[in-house]
Amino acid sequence: MARGDGRLNHNLLDEDPLPQDECGVFGVWAPGEEVAKLSFYGLFALQHRGQESAGIAASDGNHIQVYKDVGLVSQVFDEATLNALRGHIAVGHCRYSTTGGNQWSNAQPTLGDTPHGTVALGHNGNLTNSADLHEQIVARHGAAKFGELAQGNTTDTALVTALLKDQPGNSLEEQALALLPTLKGAFCLVFMDENTLYAARDPQGVRPLVLGRLNSGWVVASEQSALATVGASIIREVEPGEFIAIDADGVRSHQFAESAPARCVFEYVYLARPDANINGRSVYESRVEMGRQLAREDTHDADIVIPVPESGTPAAVGYAEASGLPFAQGFIKNAYVGRTFIQPSQTLRQLGIRLKLNVQEHVVAGKKVVVVDDSIVRGNTQRAIVRMLKEAGAAEVHVKISSPPIKWPCFYGIDFATRAELIANGATIDEITQAVGADSLAYISEEGMIAATGQPRSSLCTACFSGEYPIELPPADKRGKLLLEQPSLPGMPQRRPQTGCEPGPDAEFELDSDWDEETPLREEVLQ
């Protein structure tokens, strides 16, 4: 859903932002193809994974060009820009910030130099040892005064790009294999030099990454929807702990760390597109099964089942199927409300969710309604939905949630609300029911959610529900979204103070006054 300023978000209420994934990554090696345009359409298919900025780097074998800016993929790029990004290799990225605020300097791919050429790198995930990596750079160089770090980039991605410069090895491939085992946390990296495309996935495989085949080359992407969009056939997932290199000699694979899967269960619940497959399991079918299981665990006497579109639809289908209740579209979503760049008036802003959803009164009036959604964060959205349904004449509203209560923050690439803001931490289910105005409220059990994914519990990360973190976390003072923007951190440029805590998808752009806010970053590196 696009906002009044033309930027996208999935929120029905701006004051109740949904969980946001960090990024989508895309890479292509395809001589003879228009790789920048392939990357554009690949990123377009991955737009749900990051809506704050977008960028594409391309190489013609001699030099790398990169174009990136704040905004949606369709806003950052036009035909002329894509035509200028010539070559046979490209790396693309769409971003949602988890380490490093939403500012122009943090757009990706990042650029860096190495003894063996230039590197352009995009990252999906979140490193947990960013503070330690930064200390390594300061210890070696005295301060972070080179590469994009010197230009104000405050992301963990910039740390990886900078550290590649210092690794031992006779090629970028060897340097990457030396660096990757030292990275901790969740990371899917897609990067390139002038002639080779690279990809790597952390040993836990927290975020998805897939390898696909074109007639004339190869593609790597966060989800297979991006492969289908560009006409690539899926070959397989990049394995946890695997590093691959793609060039004229084909695909080379290295296992840089032992696989210890802890895939994010929330990818199955909400983050991934419904047409994704993760570890052999259809995300859509997982969500439908979550709805079925939710109905088995808690079925109410009701007349109809309706979803909160779009994320609640598959689970509502499953709930209706298992409960025997008829499925109906009680809400109509306005897909075009955000296509304008005109801010709504104060009167319209007060309407909130009604700008995005309309209730079909003839569907719900006089009926006992089961309304299915994927998760509850602060509860404001559910309160508004229940109120709308009752104002439309619903006799009863029973809210069903296809995930357990969210109680813990994510440090592996999802930007949740803080623990204090999560409604499940401050109230019982009965209290939440009363707070949102529903006649009843039920969450799926953690066991039921896991069973619906078809994955062993031991291979999933459920930290946001259970508080059990599969990757060790650093001390509190060495983590956080704005870690590398702390004024006291040695070697980092001083940044303008940011207001608020964890500014989510509605944060204002954070730009230094001496930077040109009108001109996107476009850089050409010649060897």
Task: Give the pLDDT of residue 414.
Answer: 86
Q: Which among 412, 516, 387 is positioned nearest to 471, based on CA atoms? A: 412
> HSE of 401 in the Cβ direction (CA atoms, 13 Å)?
21
Active-site residues, by number, are: 23
Return d(Cα 33, Cα 8) in angstroms, integer: 30
Q: What are phi and psi of 495, to 5 degrees?
A: -120, 160
pLDDT at 105: 78
Report phi then psi at 21, rounded to 5. -80, 165
pLDDT for 419 equals 86
Q: Is 94 one of the annotated binding-site residues? A: no
Residue 290: both structure tokens together: 């979550």
pLDDT of residue 481: 56
Q: Are the C-beta atoms of residues 248 and 46 closer than 8 Å to each other?
A: no
Res 339: pLDDT: 40
Residue in the block written with tokens 């002639």: 195
pLDDT at residue number 523: 40
pLDDT for residue 484 = 59
pTM, to two decimals:
0.86
Does 188 show up as a binding residue in the annotation?
no
Instruction: Identify the structural domains of the chain with CATH numbers, from first to last.
Output: 20-269 (3.60.20.10), 281-453 (3.40.50.2020)
Other CB atoms within 10 Å distance of the CB of residue 324: 9
Q: What is the distance between the alpha carbons of residues 390 and 435, in angstroms, rounded to a whole number? A: 15
Q: Are strands 460-461 and 263-264 parallel, antiparallel or unpaired?
A: parallel
- Per-residue model confidence as pLDDT tens for the chain (527 residues): 333 333 334 555 555 555 545 589 999 999 999 999 999 999 999 999 988 899 999 999 999 999 999 888 999 999 999 999 999 999 999 987 655 456 667 888 999 999 999 999 999 999 999 999 999 988 888 776 677 888 888 888 989 999 999 999 999 999 999 999 999 999 999 999 999 999 999 999 999 999 999 999 999 999 999 999 999 999 999 999 999 999 999 999 999 999 999 999 999 999 999 999 999 999 999 999 999 999 999 988 999 999 999 889 999 999 999 999 999 999 998 876 544 445 667 677 667 778 888 999 999 999 999 999 999 988 988 999 999 999 999 999 999 999 999 999 999 988 776 788 899 998 999 999 999 999 999 999 999 999 999 999 999 999 999 999 999 998 887 766 555 555 545 554 444 333 222 323 222 222 232 323 333 333 443 22
Please tell me the distance from the alpha carbon of residue 59 to that of residue 44, in angstroms, as a whole number.
21
Closest CA relative to residue 220, chosen from 238, 202, 239: 238
**282 is known to lie in a ligand binding site:** no
If residue 368 lies in a helix (H) or strand (E), which one and from where to where? strand 368-373
464 assigned to a ligand binding site: yes
In the prediction, which pLDDT does 152 show? Answer: 82
Q: What is the pLDDT of residue 452?
A: 98
The reported pLDDT for the residue numbered 467 is 95
**Residue 157 and residue 124 in contact, taking contact as beta carbons nearer than 8 Å:** no
| Secondary structure of residue 298 in the 3-state scheme | coil
- Residue 492: C-alpha distances to residues 377, 390, 470, 509 (Å): 33, 53, 30, 19
- 501 marked as part of a ligand binding site: no
- Cα–Cα distance for residue pair 13/52, rounded to 1 Å: 18
